[in-house]
Amino acid sequence: MEIIDGKRISEEIRQEIGAEVASMIDKDLRAPHLAAVIVGDDPASQTYVASKEKQAKGVGFTSTVYRMPADTSREELMGVIEFLNNDNDVDGFIVQLPLPAHIDEQEVLLSINPAKDVDGFHPENVGRMALGLPCYIPATPNGIMELLKRYQVETAGKSCVVLGRSHIVGSPVSILMSQKTTPGNATVTLCHSRTQNLKEVCREADILIAAIGQPRFVTADMVKEGAVVIDVGIHRVEDPSKKSGFRLVGDVDYDEVAKKASMITPVPGGVGPMTIASLLQNTLKAAKKQVYS
Ligand code: GUN
């Protein structure tokens, strides 16, 4: 069994990006600029945005964070987005989700300039991805494809089962895995809460991607001998043996499933670290379009 080391691969990607930024600076081009907008003080979102900012700076990007209070009005948020859409010094930006309940998420995503939508959440980018056209692919699905590529996982003609149909992970990764690409060309089954005979369906998978949002949902009896298992989940569970009182687990019962899998992503250190690396890749792509045009 081989562990798919997302921490190592994400460091590799960040080094590649850092080298490209250095060569842009050598050519007297400005550094790529990623901006993030965060509304409210959700602790998980604050942590994510702080990591994005730190890693962006780590590869030599300029990073700006717009921190707005929870009672920010729709108009105020739209004003900041409008400013970022038109600021030629900003290559890409994200609006951290979730947003406070009084703000319509869809309306906000639609208002982002698709050329700067490095999260790949704008319907134009989603549509372009579905059609296999140049676009920004959302960070987590892109990170999964990058892991499969760099570990040279054979996907063509293989059976791929995706658990979960979220707009952020399950749905896009199922589209990418079915496309005529490498990795890709898999025979994809997308499972969700209404799927019947789930255990049997999962047991057919050569590649099993778990993005269902339930701790240790995937047990060893759901996994085929020799399968490649990608775990997108991240959950805190109580663990009195830890100083913190908790530990992190994924959507997969790692200890048992690892005995059957040929390759598996751990939690933490698997898919998680890949997501920010993917966001940085998208931002570099946006910057190159802007500064070389
Ligand atoms: N909230 C959780 N994940 C993400 C993400 O990838 N992008 C944004 N904008 N918000 C998120």
Q: How do the domains of the chain map onto residue ranges?
A: 28-113, 139-272
Neighbouring residues of 146: CB distance < 8 A, sequence distance ≥ 6: 9, 13, 274, 277, 278
Relative to the CA of 98, which ligand 1 atom is closest?
A: 1
Mean pLDDT of 58-71: 98
pLDDT digits (tens, 9 = 90+) for 108-165: 999 999 999 999 999 999 999 999 999 999 999 999 999 999 999 999 999 999 999 9
Helix or strand or coil: residue 218?
Answer: strand
In ligand 1, the atom with minimum distance to the C-alpha of 140 is 6
Residue 246: CB atoms within 10 A of its CB come to 13
Count Cα atoms within 13 angstroms, Cβ side, for 283.
34
pLDDT of amino acid 291: 75
Phi/psi at 15 (nearest 5 deg)? -65, -40
Q: Is 139-272 the same fold as 28-113?
A: yes
pLDDT tier for residue 186 given thresholds of 50, 70 and 90:
very high
* pLDDT number for residue 44: 93
Structure tokens at 62: 């300029």
Helix, strand or coil, per DSSP, at residue 75 = helix
Beta bridge pairs of residue 160:
188, 207
119 included as an active-site residue: yes
| Alpha carbons within 13 A on the beta-carbon side of 258 | 13
- Whether 94 is in the pocket of ligand 1, judged by its Cβ within 6 Å, is yes
- Is 46 a catalytic site residue? no
Does residue 72 line the site of ligand 1, with CB under 6 A? no
**CATH for 139-272, options being 3.40.630.10, 3.60.15.10, 3.40.50.720, 3.40.50.1370:** 3.40.50.720
Which residues, other chains included, contact 11 with Cβ-Cβ below 8 Å and sequence gap of 6+?
A: none
Q: What's the gap in Å between 274 CA and the centre of ligand 1?
A: 13
For residue 97 and ligand 1, the question of a CB distance below 6 A is answered with yes
Is residue 209 within 8 A of residue 173, CB to CB? The reply is: yes
Name which CATH class applies to 28-113.
alpha beta
Active-site residue, 285 included: no
> In this model, does residue 293 exceed pLDDT 70?
no
Closest CA to 64 of 90, 95, 99: 90
Ligand 1 close to Cβ of residue 287 (< 6 A): no
- pLDDT tens across 260-276, in order? 999 999 999 999 999 99
238, exposed or middle or buried, with CB in 10 Å at 0-12, 13-18, 19+? Answer: exposed
